[in-house]
Structure 1
Amino acid sequence: MSRDRIDRRRFIQTAGAAGVTLLAGCSAEQTGDSPTDTTATDGAGTTVGTPTEGSDTLVVATYGSFIDAVSSSPGDWIKQQFESEFDADLVWQTPPNELDQYVQRANADAEIDADVYVGLSVDGLIRLDENLEGGPLFAEAPSLDGQSNVKEGLGFDPQGRAVPYDTGYISLVWNATADSGEFAAPETFDGLLDPAYEGDLLAQNPSTSVTGRAFLLHSIKAKGEDGYLDYWQNLQDNGVRVLEGWDAAYGAYGGGEAPMVVSYSTDQVFANRAGEPMAEHQIRFLNDQGYANPEGMAQFAGTDSPTLAASFMEFMLRPEVQAQIAVRNVAFPAVTNAEFGGENAEYEQYAQAPPEAVSFTYDELKGNVQGWIEDWSRQVASN
C-alpha cells in the first residue's frame, strides 16, 4: 500500500505549497517535533534516532511517512512514549523499497539490522512469500497482551506473523454542491451504472494504486470473479475515468472535474481540520460496505531482542496508543477498545467506518489477485 500512502503525503505537501487546499486519506496535520539525527545505514535506507550508550536499542523498520509525513505521523510520538517507559532507545529505519528491501537482503544473505517491521499488508506478505528464497523473514507473533482485542476480520496472515495495528476503509468521496446542490452519490455498485452518473466517477489504476486495487477488489466481492469484468465494461460505458494514482484522481476531483472519487472514509477529518465545506467531502459506502486495508507489524526472525520486540508490539496494541496511531495516521484503530479521550472528539466525529467491512483473505488473493488485475488491465487497454 506504499505507493498511494507516499503519494497522498506528497500531494498534500505540494498542494499546500501552491496554496491549494485538498484533502486526503491517511494523513493529518503535523503535530509534535520532527525526527532528528538522521544518518544513512548500510543498504537499509535511513535510520532515525541515535542510540544512547549503555541502553538497549530496538530497531523498527517502517515506511517513511509513518515518521515524517508533512501533515501528521505517529512515529515521533511513539518513539517518545516508548522510550519514556522502557529502558531502551527506539530507532526507526525507513528503507526506500520498504519490505522488498529486506526480502532482497535476506535472499543475498545480507545482515538485517532490524527487530520489528511496522507497515505490513496482505499484498506485502504475498509478495514476500512468493519471493523469499531461504528461511523465514518474520517469526510467528508471540503471545501478546491486547491481541485478543483486535477486531474480527482484520487479521490477514494465516501464518500468524503479522498483527494488525490499524486499518483504512476505501469509500467514495462525493460533492453535494455539484449540480447546483442537486447531486447525490448512488448507494450501490449498480447505481454507478445509472446514465444519470455518466462521467461522474474518478477511479485509480489497480496495478499502480492501492485505492484503485481496493476498489477493484470490492467490485469483485460485489459482482463475483465471473462478473466483475462485465461490470467494469459497463462502468467504462458510463464514462468512468481511471487515472494512474490517488493523487491524480483526487486532484481532478478537487479541481471540479467530477463529483465522485474513490478515496478514504477519513476524508472528513481533513476537511474539518482545513476548514473545508463538509458538503464537498461526503462519504458513500457502496452497498453499505467499505473495503478494509489493514496494516500489521511483525517481529524479524533474526532479532536478538525478542523480549523487547514483543514489548513494543504489546505497546502498539494498548488502547491509548491505538487511539494516537489512528488520529496521527488518520486511520482506524485495529482494536475494539481504543481510548480516544475528549481531545480527539473531532476525529471520532468525522472518521467514518462502514456498516460492514469487507476484504479478501490471504488465501483468496494468493494466486488470484495478479490475474484479476491483469485481466482488468487488458480489458481497459482494449477500450
Structure 2
Amino acid sequence: MKILPALAFLATPALAEVPVLNVLTYDSFTAEWGPGPAIAKGFEATCACKVNYIAAGDGGAILSRLKMEGAGSEADVALGLDTSLVEAARATGLFAPIAAQPNTLPVPFADTEFQPYDWGWFAFVHLKSLENPPANFKALAASDLKIVIQDPRSSTPGLGLVMWVKAAYGDEAGSVWKDLADNIVTVTPGWDEAYGLFLKGEADMVLSYTTSPAYHLIAENDDTKTAALFDEGHYMQVEVAGKLKAAPNPELADAFLAYLAGTEAQSVIPTTNWMYPAQSAPLPQGFETLIQPAKSLLLSPTEAEALRQKAIEEWQAALAQ
C-alpha cells in the first residue's frame, strides 16, 4: 500500500527523546556564576544529552535528601558532598562503584565510590588592614577580634571548622572552643550569610577559604582582603561526586564523572567555584598571591565520621555557656 507523503510520519517511529542526566548538587554550583552552567554546556556537547541540575542547599542538604528519597531518588549523580560526609553517604548503600580517576591533591586520596573534583583549605578571611592577624586558634581566642562562623549541623564549611579544631588539637578541642566562644559574633546556617556579614563590616574575620581573596582580586579588582595563615596547619575540604546505584542513566553518569575529571571541566573550577581543581590544571593570574599553608590537615572519611558527632558536641557545649 502506498503511503501518502503527508501521513508518512505516522508510520515512522517517534524520534528518540534526548536522555537527561540528573545531577543533585548544591545551590551555588548551579548558579549562573557557578561552575554548573559551563560544565553542563561542555558535557552536553559530548553526550547528545541534557544535564538537569537539582539544587539542594549544600552538602549536608544533599545527604539529607538522599537519605529521605532512598533508592527512589531521580538523581544519577550526587555532586557536592565532602570528606566529612563521605562515610555517612556510603552507609546509605545508595552509591555505586566508579572508575578511579587520578588526582593531584596535596594529600593522598583514593576512593572506590567518590571522585574528587575540587578542594580548598579553610581559613579566616580578613582585611589586609587588620593589625597583627592571629597565627593560630589560641592567638585568635586570646584576641578581641570578632568572627563569624557557620553552623556545622547545616553547613559543610561549619563542619570543616569543627573538624579543623579537632584535627589540630585532639582532646584539647573542647577547651579551644570555650576560649573562642566570646570571639564569635554569630553562627549562620550557611556560608553566604556569614560572608555577607563580614563584607558589611559586622566582623573582623569570617570562616571561608584561602582562595576567597582570589575572587575579590580577579572578579572585582579588589586586593584589600587576605586570609590568616595558621601555624597548626589548615584543614582541607575535598568535594566529591558519586554515581547512584539506581541511576536512571548509569552510562551517562559514568561519562559525566569522566568529563568532570578532564581538563575542560577542571579549568572552569578556579574562577567559578573559587577552589583548586582536583587535577593538575593551570591556575589564573592572582592565585599566586594566596597564602600557602605549610601543613595540610585532613581526616580520612572513616576518622571524620567517627569524630564528627563529638566535635559538634564540643562546639555546642562551648557556645551554650
Q: TM-score, normalising length from structure 1?
A: 0.70
2:120 and 2:276 in contact (8 A); partners too: yes
1:240 to 171, 180, 183: 183
Unaligned residue ranges in structure 1 (runs of 5+): 1-51
What's the Cα RMSD here? 2.7
Instruction: Output the amino acid matched with 1:65.
Output: S
Q: 1:308 to 1:137 in 2, by over 3 A?
A: same
Could you say what secondary structure the match of 1:325 adopts?
Answer: coil
| Matching residue of 1:215 | 161
Task: Tell me which of 67, 91, 97 is aligned to 1:140.
Answer: 97
What stretches of structure 2 of length at least 5 have no aligned partner?
A: 1-14
What CA distance in whole angstroms lies between the structure 1 residues aligned with 2:64 and 2:35?
23
Tell me, in whole angstroms, the C-alpha distance in 2 between the residues paired with 1:163 and 1:230: 35
Q: Is the 8 A contact 2:84 2:308 kept in 1?
A: no
Larger Rg: 2
In 2, the alpha carbon distance for the partners of 1:240 and 1:265 equals 20
SS of the aligned residue for 1:286 comes to: coil
Between the aligned partners of 1:171 and 1:254, the Cα distance in structure 2 is 16
| Higher RCO (Cα < 8 Å, 6 or more apart) | 2
Distance in 1, matches of 2:85 and 2:158, equals 16
**Residue of structure 1 in register with 2:7 after alignment:** none
> Is 1:91 aligned to residue 37 of structure 2?
no
Question: What is the distance in 1 between the residues matched to 2:22 and 2:198?
Answer: 40
Structure 2 residue aligned with 1:64: 27
Residues 244 and 156 of structure 1: CA distance in aligned 2, closer, same or farther (over 3 Å): farther
Deviation at 1:53, TM superposition (A): 4.2
1:155 aligns with 2:118: no
The worse-fitting range, judged by mean Cα deviation, of 212-221 and 95-104 is: 95-104
Deviation at 1:317, TM superposition (A): 0.8
**Matched-pair identity in %:** 25
Structure 1 residue aligned with 2:253: 309
Query: Could you tell me how far apart the structure 1 residues matched to 2:309 and 2:206 are?
Result: 24
Distance 2:290 2:25 in 1: 24
Hey, what does 1:172 align to over in structure 2? 124
Match in the other structure for 2:271: 327
Cα distance in 1, alignment partners of residues 127 and 211 from structure 2: 15
Structural mapping, 1:1-383, within 5 Å: 53-69=16-32, 72-95=33-56, 97-106=61-70, 110=72, 112-129=73-90, 132=92, 136-143=93-100, 147-151=101-105, 153=107, 155=109, 157=111, 160-178=112-130, 183-194=131-142, 197-224=143-170, 226-236=171-181, 239-245=182-188, 246-272=191-217, 273-276=219-222, 278-279=223-224, 281-287=225-231, 289-335=233-279, 337-340=280-283, 344-346=284-286, 348-350=287-289, 352-382=291-321
Is 2:62–2:81's contact at 8 Å kept on the other side of the alignment?
no
Return the letter of the residue paired with 2:195: Y
Provide closer, same or farther for how the CA distance between residues 191 and 64 of structure 1 changes in structure 2, counting only shifts above 3 A.
closer
**Alpha-carbon distance in structure 1 between the residues aligned to 2:195 and 2:133:** 16
Q: How far apart in 2 are the matches of 1:365 and 1:151?
A: 18
2: CA distance, partners of 1:248 / 1:334: 27
Q: Matches of 2:150 and 2:69 in 1, distance apart?
A: 32
AA matched with 1:217: M
Partner Cα separation in structure 1 for residue 263 and residue 292 of structure 2: 18
Deviation at 1:142, TM superposition (A): 2.1
* Equivalent AA in structure 2 for residue 218 of structure 1: W
Cα contact 2:177–2:314 (8 A) shared by 1: no
Counterpart of 2:26 in 1: which secondary structure?
coil
Could you list the per-position Cα deviations for residues 167-207 of structure 1 after superposition, in whole angstroms to 9, with x for gaps in the alignment? 132111122324xxxx121222332244xx22444434434
Q: Does the CA contact (< 8 Å) of 1:138 and 1:300 recur in 2?
A: yes
Contact 1:171–1:263 at 8 Å: present in 2 too?
yes
The superposition leaves residues 3-53 of structure 1 with CA deviations (integer Å, 9 ceiling, x where unpaired) of: xxxxxxxxxxxxxxxxxxxxxxxxxxxxxxxxxxxxxxxxxxxxxxxxx94
Residue 132 of structure 2 aligns with an amino acid whose one-letter code is A
Letter in 1 for 2:114: A
How many angstroms does 1:208 deviate by? 4.0
Separation of aligned partners in 2, 1:156 and 1:207: 26
Change in Cα spacing, 1:214 to 1:324, as seen in structure 2 (3 Å) is: same
C-alpha spacing 1:233/1:61, structure 2 compared with 1 (3 Å) = closer
Aligned to 1:7: none
AA of the residue aligned to 1:60: V
Tell whether the 8 Å contact from 1:141 to 1:161 is kept in structure 2 after alignment.
yes
Q: Distance in 2 between matches of 1:352 and 1:314?
A: 31
CA contact (8 A) 2:85 2:305 kept: no
SS at 1:296 equivalent? strand
Amino acid in the other structure paired with 1:265: T
Q: For the residues of structure 2 that align with 1:308 and 1:57, how far apart are their CA atoms?
A: 9
